[in-house]
Amino acid sequence: MEGIAQPHNDALVISVLMNRFRIKRVLIDPGSSANIIRWRVIEQLGLLDQIVPAIRVLNGFNMACEMTKGEITLPINTAGTTQQIFFFVIEGDMGYNTLLGRPWIHLIKEVPSTMHQALKFLTSEGIKTIYGEQQAAKEMFAVEESVKTTKIPDWNEGESVTT
């Protein structure tokens, strides 16, 4: 864990090569059952004509829904290994450019570790390691700290309490 700012609770964020471009702010999410990419990224790659129109509903952890704009398969190069990856395309705003979920994780048989800010996977050349970009994760998921005063009724006393 040398070089990792401690203590941390950072997500695992990496960069990948996609269509000969470096895509930053790629979230590795073992909790996601889909690979997701932003419409804006596809637009900047000049690949809008490759999107296959398809409307699907993606549900988040809080059951918030996002409608897809389509689907696309793109080559993703990670640590010199390239795979064709299927993505759902969404137009919504996210803190990251791409989300690689369980379909990608299982395809390359990688083992992600948010604690160690790294992921490892086996190739014909041996074990490859990709290190997380901890500073990018901190910037993406920065939480503004603020103290809020909320009135909560105290049902026993009939008064409000401040928290």
Please state the domain extents for the chain. 12-162
Q: Which CATH class name applies to 12-162?
A: mainly beta
pTM: 0.79
Residue among 65, 79, 56, 76 nearest 129 (CA): 79
Nearest Cα to 105, choosing from 24, 20, 12?
12
One DSSP character per residue, 142-159 reads ---------EEEETTTTE
Which pLDDT tens digits describe the chain residue by residue (163 residues)?
Answer: 666 666 767 889 999 999 889 999 999 999 999 999 999 999 999 999 999 999 888 877 666 788 899 999 999 998 888 999 999 999 977 889 999 999 999 999 999 988 888 999 998 889 999 999 887 777 776 654 444 445 544 444 444 444 4
